[in-house]
């Protein structure tokens, strides 16, 4: 038993020794690997450190070069500034030397001038003494005589110089003015069309002529009464003629007749209804036309009443020349001329577009279009130059600016161009307008229309203010006033109409 225990113990001891030896050998191998790995890492770390050190040295050298370059630039700048300062100092010294030389020369000239003045005084005194002895003149009289002669001679020389430069200035001014006018007229190309006294309405067929005339002429009388125009239905196939000297009334009448013809219903009640609608349509249309003109010219905004009147100028003529066409010509010509003369183009165009704005109201109000236009522009706070141009283009004031002068010149150019105006047509228009004004001046008259080429006037009365007997007397009074105040060929028929209407509504 003991032997078995001894053998087991011995085997245990031997196993433990063998295990120790094996573990020791394995640890030695691991330690060797660790040592090798440590040496490798140390070598890598040393290499990285050397590399970082080398990079740092390179960066330091680069920074040193940059600093040295900047330092050198600063030195160069300082050298340049020093050189500039030196040059300026030298220039100042040179200028100072030049000033001193000029000062010395000036002092020398002053001394010389003082000597000349003294010498001149001595010579004058000698001349005066000689004149006193020769002409028995006192010293004062002799001095006055000499001064008078010198003054006369100076005036003659000055006048000659002034005339010379006046002539040069006048020639230069004429050349410049001709150039400006030529530039303005060549840059502006307008379409010129004459206004007539009639409009022609085309009908779908000759049957519509009968509808327009109506039973016993009822429809055509209503049309002429309401529209204030003369409607001519003759044998010309497919057309009727609307005649009136008033462009606005004629345009409305044409539109009314065209609407009635297209609609097919033609009777007095329908005529009045269509007339009222067309009037409202034209009020809107003329405002839109005026607004479009201002937008195209770049003159917007403007007071709405002036815009409306500007559009209404399309239906106004002066000496046969359309007022709106004339106004646009003046505005564009004035703008071009103002630019050439160094003025404000837009202000000149604004003055040009408004210079005849009063003509839009002269047919209704009467009076001078200049006063009416200036009053309107003052009321709606237009520029003072615009108001001055309105007065100046008919000589009521002198132009006070380049823009006003441009408007005056443009107005003359537009009116004076060949074919722009027709005196015969204007005289006829004035005569017909004067006939209407005579009738409208009478008490109780609502409206008056000259028709049939001015050979007839229709006067409509307020039936509540004028009786039938008074209407008869009024027709004779109007005829008598026309005979005394208007020159006309042939006869003029005065047709006074008194109509009483009573309207009620059943509710």
- Residues 429-457: pLDDT tens digits? 677 778 888 888 888 888 888 776 677 88
Nearest one of 406, 422, 498 to 461, comparing CA atoms: 498
What pLDDT sits at residue 462? 84
Instruction: Say which residue, 55 or 178, is predicted with more confidence.
Output: 55
- What stretch of H or E contains 198? strand 198-202
Q: Rounded to whole angstroms, how far apart are CA atoms 410 and 402?
A: 12
**What is the average pLDDT across 6-14?**
66
Q: Rounded to whole angstroms, how far apart are CA atoms 438 and 459?
A: 11
Least confident residue range of 25-39, 226-240, 244-258: 25-39
Segment 83-98, tens digit of pLDDT? 888 888 887 788 778 8
Segment 205-245, tens digit of pLDDT? 888 888 888 888 888 888 888 888 888 887 778 888 888 77
What pLDDT sits at residue 355? 85
Least confident residue range of 72-76, 163-167, 249-253: 163-167
> Residue 185: pLDDT band by 50, 70, 90 thresholds?
low
Contact by Cβ (8 Å): 121, 146: no
Segment 397-418, tens digit of pLDDT? 888 888 888 888 888 877 655 4
Segment 462-480, tens digit of pLDDT? 888 888 778 888 888 888 8
Q: What is the pTM of this model?
A: 0.46
Segment 281-301, tens digit of pLDDT? 888 888 888 888 888 888 878
Which residue is listed with tokens 């236009």? 373
User: Is residue 460 helix, strand or coil?
Assistant: strand
Average pLDDT, the chain: 77
What pLDDT sits at residue 423? 45
Instruction: Say which residue, 117 or 162, is predicted with more confidence.
Output: 117
Which residue is listed with tokens 């002036």? 306
- What stretch of H or E contains 164? helix 139-187
Segment 337-384, tens digit of pLDDT? 888 888 888 888 898 888 888 887 766 676 778 888 888 888 888 888
CA distances from 488 to 52, 205, 426, 455, 492 (A): 120, 38, 14, 9, 8
Q: Rounded to whole angstroms, how far apart are CA atoms 156 and 150?
A: 10
Res 119 pLDDT > 50: yes
Nearest one of 275, 415, 244, 405 to 334, comparing CA atoms: 405
- What stretch of H or E contains 30? helix 2-135
For 434, other C-beta atoms within 10 Å of its C-beta total 17
What pLDDT sits at residue 133? 63
Q: Rounded to whole angstroms, how far apart are CA atoms 490 and 452?
A: 13
What pLDDT sits at residue 139? 61
Q: Which residues pair with 239 in a beta bridge?
A: 202
CATH number of 426-499: 3.30.70.1350
For 365, other C-beta atoms within 10 Å of its C-beta total 10
Alpha-carbon dihedral sign for residues 154, 157, 160, 164: negative
Take residue 113 and report the two structure tokens written for it: 């001038």
Q: Rounded to whole angstroms, how far apart are CA atoms 227 and 222?
A: 8
- What is the homologous superfamily of the domain 298-421 according to CATH? Hypothetical protein af1432 (1.10.3210.10)
Measured N-to-C along each axis, helices 345-354 and 268-297 cross at an angle, to the nearest 10 degrees, of 160
> Under CATH, what is the fold of the domain 188-279?
Ribosomal Protein S8; Chain: A, domain 1 (3.30.1370)
What pLDDT sits at residue 502? 66
Nearest one of 222, 220, 277 to 252, comparing CA atoms: 277
> Residue 70: pLDDT band by 50, 70, 90 thresholds?
confident
Contact by Cβ (8 Å): 431, 486: yes
Spacing of C-alpha 102 from chain mean position? 55
What pLDDT sits at residue 176? 63
- What stretch of H or E contains 190? none
Residues 6+ apart with CB under 8 A from 406: 333, 334, 335, 337, 338, 341, 343, 348, 352
What pLDDT sits at residue 194? 37
Res 195 pLDDT > 50: no
């Amino acid at each position: 038993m003991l032997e078995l225990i001894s053998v087991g113990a011995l085997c245990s001891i031997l196993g433990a020794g063998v295990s120790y030896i094996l573990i020791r050998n394995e640890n030695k191998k691991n330690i060797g690997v660790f040592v090798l790995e440590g040496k490798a890492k140390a070598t890598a770390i040393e290499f990285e450190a050397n590399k970082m050190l080398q990079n740092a040295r390179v960066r330091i050298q680069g920074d040193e070069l940059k600093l040295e370059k900047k330092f050198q630039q600063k030195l160069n700048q300082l050298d340049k500034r020093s050189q500039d300062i030196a040059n300026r100092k030298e220039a100042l010294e040179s200028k100072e030397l030049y000033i001193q030389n000029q000062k010395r020369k000036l002092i020398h000239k002053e001394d010389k001038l003082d000597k000349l003045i003294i010498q001149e005084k001595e010579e004058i005194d000698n001349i005066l003494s000689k004149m006193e002895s020769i002409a028995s003149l006192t010293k004062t009289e002799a001095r006055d005589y000499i001064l008078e002669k010198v003054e006369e001679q100076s005036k003659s020389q000055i006048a000659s110089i002034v005339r010379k430069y006046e002539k040069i200035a006048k020639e230069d001014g004429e050349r410049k003015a001709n150039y400006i006018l030529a530039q303005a007229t060549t840059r502006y190309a307008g379409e010129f069309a004459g206004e007539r006294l009639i409009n022609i309405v085309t009908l779908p067929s000759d049957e519509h002529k009968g509808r327009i005339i109506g039973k016993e002429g009822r429809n055509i009388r209503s049309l002429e009464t309401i529209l204030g125009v003369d409607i001519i239905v003759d044998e010309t196939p497919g057309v009727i003629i609307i005649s009136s000297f008033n462009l606005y009334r004629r345009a409305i009448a044409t539109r009314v007749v065209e609407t009635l013809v297209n609609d097919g219903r033609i009777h007095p009640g329908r005529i009045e209804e269509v007339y009222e609608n067309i009037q409202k349509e034209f009020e809107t249309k003329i405002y839109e036309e005026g607004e479009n003109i201002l937008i195209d010219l770049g003159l917007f905004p403007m007071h709405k009443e002036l815009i409306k009147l500007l559009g209404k100028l399309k239906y106004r003529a002066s000496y046969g020349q359309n007022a709106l066409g004339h106004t646009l010509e003046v505005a564009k010509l004035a703008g071009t001329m103002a630019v050439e003369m160094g003025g404000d183009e837009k202000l000149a165009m604004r003055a040009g577009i408004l210079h005849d704005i009063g003509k839009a109201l002269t047919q209704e109000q009467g009076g001078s279009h200049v006063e009416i236009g200036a009053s309107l522009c003052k009321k709606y706070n237009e520029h003072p130059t615009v108001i001055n141009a309105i007065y100046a283009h008919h000589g009521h004031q002198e132009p006070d600016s380049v823009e006003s002068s441009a408007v005056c010149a443009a107005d003359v150019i537009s009116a004076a161009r060949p074919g722009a105006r027709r005196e015969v047509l204007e005289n006829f228009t004035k005569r017909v307008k004067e006939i209407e004004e005579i009738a409208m001046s009478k008490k109780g008259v609502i409206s008056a229309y000259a028709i049939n080429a001015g050979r007839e006037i229709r006067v409509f009365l307020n039936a509540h203010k004028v009786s039938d007997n008074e209407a008869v007397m009024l027709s004779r009074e109007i005829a008598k006033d026309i005979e005394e105040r208007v020159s006309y060929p042939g006869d003029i028929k005065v047709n006074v109409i008194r109509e009483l209407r009573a309207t009620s509504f059943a509710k």
